[in-house]
Structure 1
């Protein structure tokens, strides 16, 4: 129910007030009896009929003592009556009365003398059942004790949500004296935004009569304006004996301890979730930048509103931290914010270099190797965590109010720093947050260091690999040649794929593509030895099958490596191609005017297995035809069937015909993915008319 449904205030309506009496008198059943000076009953109310059992006709004119008292009580009763009539002092108390049915009931009396205009005296007796009075007294006493002494907050509000009464416990919770509550509206006492919902709930209870039990409200009051408190609030609509709405009763229990315990438990669970999430998501690859970004993705927004991950530039360049003179030089690797914010422009963008002033948290971490927690930042402190005054202004605009910096330490060496901040999240970082950040940073630092180490090893292997591969001339007698080598992506090691173009006598050209099964520098070295051996054997002018036989013996000495290979010799004078295969995927021959085809060659066994002879196949290769040699990294994936991938290769090689260079680029662009895990060697030879013929 919205506040708009609140009934308007208006002046009391005397006529309506007369028609809506309090139900307390009805609850007590107060009877009125008027007795003349001689003791005769002169008036008898309907409540007296109900209380004593006699009708008015039966009672009026009778002596009260004879009608209502047992013989043994009459003397005492008449004495009390005489005293009231003689002295004018009222008398109150319980007295046993005989009812019409002969039973006895203890009646609570209030007797007083009345005098009419003629000076005659009468006795007015007000009576009610003593048991009923005691019951009401007990309830009132209990309510009074609860209101004044209970540690829970109690209040009564009218239908306009103005306080009618509060107890001391609630006044202490609100930080407002009891007297200052009375007559003031609920929102005057509790103006904060968290209490808007509570106000609407009160109006709903007033309207529907359905109680609201144990609803939690979290907010701040004048009693403790700097800290949140939690209360369990129950609301009940109050009605009188006739069902008329009087207002709202509110019962408030301070459950801050329970609330804080639940928050601590939730934070502990969150930390466990973050640790589990970090273990699963950080270090999934051997890419430095991606690992840093994974760390940022885990911590934002669950722990921080913004994060920056910086690595020492010397670590990226050399694999080792440089702790020389002068400020440390960092390279930003990852930045993330939980939402669009001006603070993004205050953070060094990924890929850029930066140095930090001596008071900056990153510089502190680099010097001390210890984390730094700043629970509260005012406007003057922002320059401490900002790169410059302009950045400090942006952080202030974004509302950054707490910060921490955590060193990234791997194998005993500091390799970088992680900075975290909060702006929209109002809670400052605490020691638990710092501990969690340090644990995740420690794990991430090792993954980043492993990625850096792998990157340097991979770079060395790739350099070695490329240095061992030839740079073939695009022209050979009767051939247009194009070749490509693509290493595996950053998270995989360089393999042993190679290609070669070897000139032979009589304008012939030897073409070779091979793949050493392995990775890293050892595989690249084995590849270099096989390529050297192939070049040496080619000078002997042997058939392709004999070349592979000799390479098989050489590879057996390269244990534990084995390799696959295709070796072909093209003779432009006779347009003949002789080719042999050792466990390698079949080459593709693209004939002018015909669909591309996979050559049906005797497969042979891989080099190094030593289990059988190799065979040479001969076929015609006319001008315009293309021979495509490739390693399995071009067509094999972890998700797609090899037959489907080979079909894709043939489809891409279908007309229109392209140059060898264009065909190389097309195949790599269409068949290679950004995360492919294997090297590719690709060699394309297109037959051309032999000059002078």
Structure 2
């Protein structure tokens, strides 16, 4: 081939450039010597490697018979015979042969001998030789390397400086699900599109540039061999250099750590579930308000568990009826809470909170309460939507919102099903799993007890409040010389309703008794005791007794009841004397408001609460002129847990200061300014003003 042809091939190969090889390559390691003999056996060519291997310089070797120079006498006949075979064209000869060194010693050399023919028809013998020990060491190292690479369970590859595959071992073929032939010559981006190629190739370039290995780089993806499952690999990159320091490329190793990855994900999910359950224990049931408790359950389920959550309680559970739903019958639910992770028209498909909805036995939520077991539809189809939604319109809304997975979990408290938690996913692409059902069941179990407590307290509160209101007085008839306004406000907590009362009692000779009291304790028992004391007070007042006598008799009556104490203020107004005679039993002092003067707390003997027994009571006469007002109240109006009583009484005086207003307005103003909906005590308030 001429020079033109050689350049053309190079040009065809893509303008390859000839570059010198730096020392230190494999040929340099082997030190292969080249020796050429003529047909007579004389040495006619002697390479520098031959001198390095055998010690003879070229002038010392050229022209001499090789057998005489290099072969021991006992091997000369064998060498001549082998030389003759080669020169006669019977093939090449390869093997190990002892050769004499210039220093007198013997070296075992690995030979490759072959016949050469020049352009004039002359024959020569070419001998290529290297030190046997060196060759065996290189062969052993190479064989070990090949075996290690081929049999290694670790995926191994070599990339050239252009980051194209030049070697892939079988383990990496299995890991990537791609034969070696489909790797070679391609980049990571071309061969493995399922990986994050930008990150991988960026790491390789960094290693090429710096020579610093990158170890244990974590990457996740899906292979062609298993496209439905996510796999994880630990990948390391090393720069490859030859003995002379020339960069050959990058070696990569990949270990499949999918099992470890999945175990870590599962452990993380378990920790997340535990954290969510722990958070639910704190956030659900913060009050005994039924609707608030249901909202807390819905809020904690979104968005951690679902894109939308609804809490529905059986209507029978709210009315105190048996909650058993017939196996093949419909169920009546009252929607109490809905939560969404983002604005969605699917929210319009839920039952509005507070409304009652009837679901037939074929509905999934009904099945959940009928069977006391979760009902899960991982992949919701069109037919499923009709069993989830309340009507076709709601089903269409859910379909348009992209709802694709559904889960209903019964709310079970103390062995009784009281409702259900409904969960749907739309934007969250993952279907509900058994793990999700287990987590939802744990949340529902904890919340159900809180909801059950709230509904029982609600029933108790309603009962106590009904009893309390039934025991409070009707609006009084027109009073002589007085106009009055009154309020009763129950406590925010169900169990704390029932102890406070007021009374307005018209008496003979145009007198009026004004009474405010507070039975210590709460609930139905306190309300019942209050009713008994109120009845006794009405009876005693009708006897036209002095306030001290009334309290003395009430004290004796209270002491005869179950262990009970009560505070009370009894005020007897006489319009003829323009005086109000007041006696208190451990109660907060009334406020007197006089025209043109600042409101004042009356300085009265406090006395002991009713029920202590044997403690004297005293009566104080207070002047009340036209337009003057007397404000009687229970401690629920002014006592709080975060402020002392003096600060709160000052706030009461401040609110009453200023121009006198209508009594009804004053009542509402005081309650709005001093009370909070969650206050833990009820309050009775009574304001009387002397008519002009």
TM-score by length of 1: 0.88
2-structure distance, mates of 1:436, 1:380: 27
Change in Cα spacing, 1:552 to 1:21, as seen in structure 2 (3 Å) is same
- Shifted more, 285-294 versus 76-85: the winner is 76-85
Change in Cα spacing, 1:137 to 1:494, as seen in structure 2 (3 Å) is same
1:74-111 deviations in whole A, cap 9, x for unaligned?
A: 66556555544453743333444555666655443333
- What does residue 309 of structure 2 align with? 307
1:375 partnered with 2:374: no
- What does residue 7 of structure 2 align with? none
The match for 1:631 among 622, 629, 634 is 634
Change in Cα spacing, 1:138 to 1:579, as seen in structure 2 (3 Å) is farther
Paired residues for 1:37-436 under 5 Å: 37=38, 41-48=43-50, 50-52=52-54, 80-81=82-83, 83-87=85-89, 89-97=91-99, 105-192=107-194, 197-321=199-323, 323=325, 327-436=330-439
The match for 2:554 among 551, 556, 559 is 551
1:515 partnered with 2:518: yes
- What does residue 470 of structure 2 align with? 467
1-structure distance, mates of 2:267, 2:250: 35
The match for 1:604 among 589, 603, 607 is 607
TM-score by length of 2: 0.88
Contact 2:516/2:633, CA 8 A, preserved across alignment: yes
- What does residue 688 of structure 2 align with? 685
1-structure distance, mates of 2:101, 2:659: 122
Change in Cα spacing, 1:55 to 1:493, as seen in structure 2 (3 Å) is farther
- What does residue 449 of structure 2 align with? 446
1:674 partnered with 2:672: no
- What does residue 537 of structure 1 align with? 540
Contact 1:153/1:251, CA 8 A, preserved across alignment: yes
- Shifted more, 298-307 versus 35-44: the winner is 35-44
3-state DSSP of counterpart to 1:321: coil
3-state DSSP of counterpart to 1:450: helix
- What does residue 5 of structure 1 align with? none
Aligned residue pairs total 680
Deviation at residue 563 of structure 1 after TM alignment: 0.5
Deviation at residue 556 of structure 1 after TM alignment: 0.8
Deviation at residue 345 of structure 1 after TM alignment: 3.0
- Shifted more, 140-149 versus 22-31: the winner is 22-31
Contact 1:30/1:126, CA 8 A, preserved across alignment: no
Change in Cα spacing, 1:65 to 1:544, as seen in structure 2 (3 Å) is farther
1:368-413 deviations in whole A, cap 9, x for unaligned?
A: 3332222333455433323334433443444433322222233443
Deviation at residue 564 of structure 1 after TM alignment: 0.8
1:87-139 deviations in whole A, cap 9, x for unaligned?
A: 37433334445556666554433333334444444444434444443343334
Deviation at residue 460 of structure 1 after TM alignment: 1.1
Alignment RMSD, CA only?
Answer: 3.3
- Shifted more, 494-503 versus 533-542: the winner is 533-542
Contact 1:195/1:217, CA 8 A, preserved across alignment: no
2-structure distance, mates of 1:200, 1:422: 37
1:502 partnered with 2:478: no
The match for 2:589 among 586, 590, 605 is 586
Contact 1:29/1:47, CA 8 A, preserved across alignment: no
Deviation at residue 224 of structure 1 after TM alignment: 1.9
2-structure distance, mates of 1:491, 1:100: 114
Change in Cα spacing, 1:492 to 1:242, as seen in structure 2 (3 Å) is farther
Contact 1:635/1:671, CA 8 A, preserved across alignment: yes
2-structure distance, mates of 1:187, 1:154: 17
2-structure distance, mates of 1:132, 1:378: 73
1:577-622 deviations in whole A, cap 9, x for unaligned?
A: 3222211222233344444333322111111011411112223333
Contiguous gaps of at least 5 residues in structure 1: 1-9
1-structure distance, mates of 2:80, 2:660: 135
Change in Cα spacing, 1:351 to 1:75, as seen in structure 2 (3 Å) is farther
Change in Cα spacing, 1:481 to 1:27, as seen in structure 2 (3 Å) is farther
Deviation at residue 572 of structure 1 after TM alignment: 4.0
2-structure distance, mates of 1:264, 1:417: 27
Contact 1:627/1:685, CA 8 A, preserved across alignment: yes
Contiguous gaps of at least 5 residues in structure 2: 1-10
Deviation at residue 452 of structure 1 after TM alignment: 1.5
- What does residue 7 of structure 1 align with? none
3-state DSSP of counterpart to 2:496: coil
Contact 1:357/1:387, CA 8 A, preserved across alignment: no
Deviation at residue 463 of structure 1 after TM alignment: 0.7
Change in Cα spacing, 1:343 to 1:188, as seen in structure 2 (3 Å) is farther
Change in Cα spacing, 1:372 to 1:323, as seen in structure 2 (3 Å) is closer
Contact 1:409/1:416, CA 8 A, preserved across alignment: yes
Change in Cα spacing, 1:210 to 1:559, as seen in structure 2 (3 Å) is same
1:33 partnered with 2:17: no
Paired residues for 1:626-665 under 5 Å: 626-665=629-668
- Shifted more, 322-331 versus 370-379: the winner is 322-331
Contact 1:174/1:189, CA 8 A, preserved across alignment: no
1-structure distance, mates of 2:61, 2:305: 85
1:493-533 deviations in whole A, cap 9, x for unaligned?
A: 31311111222344433222111011111110111111111
2-structure distance, mates of 1:46, 1:373: 83
- Shifted more, 109-118 versus 52-61: the winner is 52-61
- Shifted more, 546-555 versus 21-30: the winner is 21-30
1:656-692 deviations in whole A, cap 9, x for unaligned?
A: 5433222222221122123211111112223442xxx
Contact 1:22/1:240, CA 8 A, preserved across alignment: no
The match for 2:460 among 453, 457, 463 is 457
- Shifted more, 198-207 versus 458-467: the winner is 198-207
